[in-house]
Every structure is written in C-alpha cells, then in structure tokens.
Structure 1
Amino acid sequence: MTDNNFNRRAFIQGGVALAASAAAWPGRAQGRAFPTKPLTLIVPFAPGGNVDITARTLGVPLTRHAGQSVIVDNRAGGGGAVGTGWAARAENDGHSLLVATPGQLGTLPEMIKVPYRADNFVPVAVLSRTPVVVVVRANDARFKTAGDFLQAIQAKSENVTIGHAGPGSPNHLALLQLEDAAKARVNAVPYKGSGPAVVDLLGGQIDAVIDQVTSSAPHLKSGGLRAVLVLGPQVGGMLAGVPNLAQQGIPSFDATTFVGVFAPRGIAPQTVASLQGWISKSVAEPEFSKPIRELGSEPLAESAAYLQRLVQEDAVLATRLVKQGRLKAD
C-alpha cells in the first residue's frame, strides 16, 4: 500500500475549495481567453472501451459548446497509470483534461507505485455511470438463474472460473466484493481488458465474466451472452428483469462504474466553471445521451464534489482489500 502517494485530505479539501471558488466566478466563466486551442481529452486506456467511447461521444457536442475542436489522446498502460501520469504533467490551462474512472486516482495508488498523486488533479464533472453485471453464456444450463450462479460459487470449490478486466479494475473490485457479500470463493482469471475475457467466455474457456454492461452489450443483444446478476441497484433497459443481490437475500453493494473528467492541479477556477458549463450542456445533448444509453450506460451530469466522493470511496475500498492481501498488481 502506498499511502504517501495518495493525499486524500488534500484532494478533498482542494476539490471543495475549487468548487467554491468556481461558483464565485459566474460572470467570468465565459471569458474570451479560453479556450485558445483544441481541447485534448487524455484517456488512459486503449480505444474501444467504455471510457474511450464516452470521451469520444462527449467530444462531439463539446466541440460546439467550447468553440474548439476536441482531440482524444489514448495513452494506455499500467491499468491506467501511464495516461493518468501523463495528464498530471500536462499544462494546467484547461486545454488538457483526463477522462477516467475514479479508480485511476483512488484504487491504483493504493496497490502500485504510480507517477502521480490524487491531489495532482481537481475533479471537474461526472459524465456517465455504467452497471456492472455477471454474464454467462446464454446456453449454459448450469446458470439458468441468479440463484443457480450464487449456489455454485457459494460451494467454495473454486471450480467456477470468472474473468475480469485486470487487477484493480472496477470489475476486479466488484468480484472481490461479490466474494465477500456471498461468502464465496471463485477461480478469478485476470485479463487485459473486458474484450479478451468476453471472447474466452464465448469460447467456453471460462464460466462467467464480471463486466461493465457496455462491453457485453453487443453479445447480450445478439443472444450469445446472458446477464444473471446486477452488482448494484436493479436497472432497466437491456437489464430489465435481471435481479440484484438484495433480491437474492444477500447484502448488496454498488459496483456501478462512473466516468468523470479531471483537470491538472492549479487550473483557474473560472476555467473550471467554463468547462463545467460546457460539459453539463454536452451531457444533456442527444448527441451524447442517445449513444451512451444504447451502450447500456446512463448519462449523468454530476458535480465535482460528487466525483471527489467517488474517488475517496474507491481509495477506502482499495486500502481494505490491499491490507487483506486480496488486491495485488499481479
């Protein structure tokens, strides 16, 4: 665990002060000096995943509202640490922003050495939330219901192999929480992203995948996969009727994944206010909300304070799991 790399109090206090300062600058939020060049959204993952798709979808309406083009810069590696470190070193004039999950600031610094601290960033806004689900092959007769699946993993034989998107990913944390809640143990199989895990599930190499619904959505729609359990509040859409843990009589937890925007520390409050206004308008646009909903996510224009809280919650969870020896880099 690397507590020295994660100054939670400074991050929270800095974010609150920033939000308060930004609110005090309403008349200057639309200053003509910003932006003076294209906005760059740094995504610390490879193209094609949930975070990348969300950033690219945001770029369409944001270009119009900000009056400048928007570039998505993918810098994958280290579970998100490489791109996040790159964003921490970017100019703090508002033209370079990090689009990531709270886990890049809350989870990773607790489990590996990273080239940044959480207080190198200030939160700007939440963009979306995505349900996390347990998916199985549609024709797998062993797991016809959520009860079947839970009974299998509660046998603690560790014969049920469950894939996830890699150590420290939201899907991995969800699996560890599922084991605790259900008093179960499984044979966890880490992958470099959800895509390879889903491929192996379809091929019969593993029994299930803990996944953000966006990655499994095409196969849920085509009938190749079936969702048996939602790890959070019950939701509608393509997951309508899929039960959650509470409906199975098991203490529930919320593994919902969020995507947010962060800025390098030192950004001017009036610049943050401008960005928050443009992002809020962009998230409400059909150009953003319609494709995001089609992926199984929900557009969510939440505040900087809400994003701070998510980072803090991830850090607390990661700290506990690291101390238990269950959250490791490998």
Structure 2
Amino acid sequence: MKSIFQRCVLSVALLLAMVSTSQAQSFPTRPIRIVVPFPPGGSADLLARALGEKLTTSMGQPVVVDNKPGAGGIAGADFVAKSNPDGHTLLFANTNIAINPSLYDKLPYDTSTALAPVLLLAYVPSLIMVSEKTPANTIQELIALAKSKPESLNYASAGSGTFPHLAIELFKMQAGISIAHIPYKGAAPALNALLAGDVQVLCNDMLTGSQYVKSGKLRALAYTGSTRAPTLPQIPTMAEAGLKDYVAVGWQGIMTPSGTPAAVVERLNIEFNKALTDPALRHSLTSQGLVLSGGTPKQFADYISQDTERWRAVVKTSGAKAD
C-alpha cells in the first residue's frame, strides 16, 4: 500500500513538473503588463518603460506599462496581487512594499503571501539637500544648526509615511535632533517647496535632485547610499559625514501574484536579468543615479524581509502615520 502511495505521489510530482515546464516554454502567450503603482514620469515609470522595450524584443510579445497610482502604491499592488497568477501581470514594486505593512493597520492583501518576488532591479539612493537660504554646508553644520535652534527648521516630504519622510526621520533619530515635518502631496511639490525656500531640508532621489545640485540651485550635504555616487563623487555619504550607521536606500523590483508557476518566474527572472546587462540601458540608468542590481527571486525575498524590519523600527520610533 505504501509503495502504491509513493508511486502516486511521484507521478503527481512528475506531472506537475511537466506542466510547469510546458507553461514556461509557451510563456508568454499574450502581452505582458507591468503595473507601475505611481503616476507617469517618475523614476519607476522610466525604468519600467526602458525594461519593457528590451523584453518586448526578447520575449516576442509586447510588454506594456500600466500606471495605477494611489494610496502609496497600495492600489497597484492590490490589483496585481488579485490578478491571474500566470506571469502576464507584473508589479513594478518599490520600497513601499517594505514600508506599508508597518504604516497601515490593515492592507487589502498580505504582502508576504499575495505577491512573489522575481528580482531586485535597482537601488535608488537619495540626497539630503538644503535650500540656498539654509546656513549649512555639511551634515554636521545642519545638525549643529538644528541643536542650536530647536524647532526652527522644517523639512518637506512627498507625504507622510513615504520613503523621503522616513529617511529624514532616521536621520533625526541618529543625529538626535528635531526638525519639523511638512508633508506635501507628491515629490514634485516637496521639491518646489525646497527650491522656493519654504522649507529648509529634503531627502530626494538622485534622478530629480542631482540636476538642481549641479546647477547650484540646491546644496547636497550627503548621499544616502553606502558608497559615493559616481555622478556626484564630491558628495560624501552619510557615514563619511559622521553618521556611521546611516544608510537609507530605496529600491525597485519586479513581483508577480503568488501562485505564478515557478518555471514562469524563472523565465521572467532570466529575461529581466539579461535586460539589465544591456550596455546602453545600463549607461542610461546609472547616469541617472540608479544602482542596478539583478539576482535571484530568493535574494530579492531576503532583501524585502530585511528592509521590512528596518523600516518597521523607524515607523515605530518616529510614530509615522499614513496620510
């Protein structure tokens, strides 16, 4: 009896393996949709479209970008989480995947079970910047200014609970300073507030922030990555500026609905990794401040887990709340 049972289990396993292999060989059978849970024009949208062009050629089916903004990325993530798990609907995920579970009391999906990682595409380091009116040329001078005039400084963010908000909260925690938070409805209004001198400090991604630093309209005091940015090598890291434990790096990656066949996930992983090796694409993206990654689904899953714990501590200590 046991032998018959074992043979049945083995037969089912072989059948599933054959089905999975067949799915991977025939995949994709129709256009692939990459859902970007943010408005067009941002770094996520630009990277998704650049990769979509490469995959359209390599996979033999159109790869289209579908922007579904709303609720800090939750609307787009929920749409993908509830889509057919066949590999034709993908989520262009970012750091919000790691932040939102701590920020919201309840999400319409369970991040750890509803979405499956494909690969980490890129890290998105940022700049800690100040306006021309702010009398600080280094991070240490900004810390000294904040300590000498408590509550006199404020900083902008793209909204409560966003990465730029929590990155400054982490800075405040490690520096032992108090700077008032002024949330705006998006990264562009926050950046405009800094340019106008309405706020003194902002954490902004390299893609949009570096152009104002290079033109002299804003001053970058530090880079939030672990090593200096090749495009702004004169800007020290936060560790070099005196906060040795500070690293705050956003990220972008690809996820699918859970239940997507393993062979299909593997095919997607191979194709996206291959696209990231294209010299022209790499040059275009790295010149904008992105640090390209790649890797396996397991490596991406581990990174999401670590990042979720990192931001959980910041959300709890800062008392950050979603808008």
**Deviation of 1:59 (Å):** 0.9
Q: Find the counterpart in structure 1 of residue 268 from structure 2.
A: 275
Q: Find the counterpart in structure 2 of residue 146 from structure 1.
A: 139
- Amino acid in the other structure paired with 2:170: Q
Please say if residues 228 and 243 of structure 1, whose CA atoms lie closer than 8 Å, have aligned partners that are also in contact. yes
CA offsets per residue over residues 288-326 of structure 1, 9 Å max, x none? 212211211122113222221232223223433444461
Q: Distance in 2 between matches of 1:111 and 1:144?
A: 33
- Mark the CA change 1:48 to 1:116 in structure 2 (over 3 Å): closer, same or farther: same
Q: Find the counterpart in structure 1 of residue 116 from structure 2.
A: 122
Q: Find the counterpart in structure 1 of residue 93 from structure 2.
A: 100
Q: 1:275-294 maps to which residues of 2 (within 5 A)?
A: 275-294=268-287
**Counterpart check, 1:110 vs 2:94:** no
Q: Find the counterpart in structure 1 of residue 3 from structure 2.
A: none
Q: Comparing 154-163 with 273-282, which one deviates more in the overlay? A: 154-163
Q: What is the RMSD computed on CA atoms of the aligned residues? A: 2.1
Q: Distance in 2 between matches of 1:264 and 1:39?
A: 13
Q: Distance in 1 between matches of 2:200 and 2:319?
A: 21
- Mark the CA change 1:71 to 1:287 in structure 2 (over 3 Å): closer, same or farther: farther
Q: Distance in 1 between matches of 2:150 and 2:60?
A: 58
Please say if residues 160 and 320 of structure 2, whose CA atoms lie closer than 8 Å, have aligned partners that are also in contact. yes
**Counterpart check, 1:254 vs 2:247:** yes
- Mark the CA change 1:325 to 1:143 in structure 2 (over 3 Å): closer, same or farther: closer
Q: Distance in 1 between matches of 2:55 and 2:270?
A: 10
**Deviation of 1:132 (Å):** 1.8
**Deviation of 1:78 (Å):** 0.5
Q: Find the counterpart in structure 2 of residue 189 from structure 1.
A: 182
- Amino acid in the other structure paired with 1:250: L
Q: 1:160-171 maps to which residues of 2 (within 5 A)?
A: 160-171=153-164
CA offsets per residue over residues 168-208 of structure 1, 9 Å max, x none? 22222211111111111111111222211111111111112
**Counterpart check, 1:311 vs 2:299:** no
CA offsets per residue over residues 154-178 of structure 1, 9 Å max, x none? 4461211111222222222211111
**Deviation of 1:130 (Å):** 1.5
Please say if residues 131 and 230 of structure 1, whose CA atoms lie closer than 8 Å, have aligned partners that are also in contact. yes
SS of the residue aligned with 1:35? coil
Q: Find the counterpart in structure 2 of residue 85 from structure 1.
A: 78
Gaps of 5+ in 1: 1-23
- Mark the CA change 1:216 to 1:29 in structure 2 (over 3 Å): closer, same or farther: farther
Q: Percent identity?
A: 30
Counterpart selection for 1:132 from 120, 126, 134: 126
**Counterpart check, 1:60 vs 2:53:** yes
Counterpart selection for 2:204 from 181, 198, 211: 211
Please say if residues 69 and 75 of structure 2, whose CA atoms lie closer than 8 Å, have aligned partners that are also in contact. yes
- Mark the CA change 1:200 to 1:145 in structure 2 (over 3 Å): closer, same or farther: same
Q: How many residues align?
A: 304
Relative to the length of structure 2, the TM-score reads 0.87
Please say if residues 138 and 241 of structure 2, whose CA atoms lie closer than 8 Å, have aligned partners that are also in contact. no
Q: Find the counterpart in structure 1 of residue 35 from structure 2.
A: 42
Gaps of 5+ in 2: 1-16
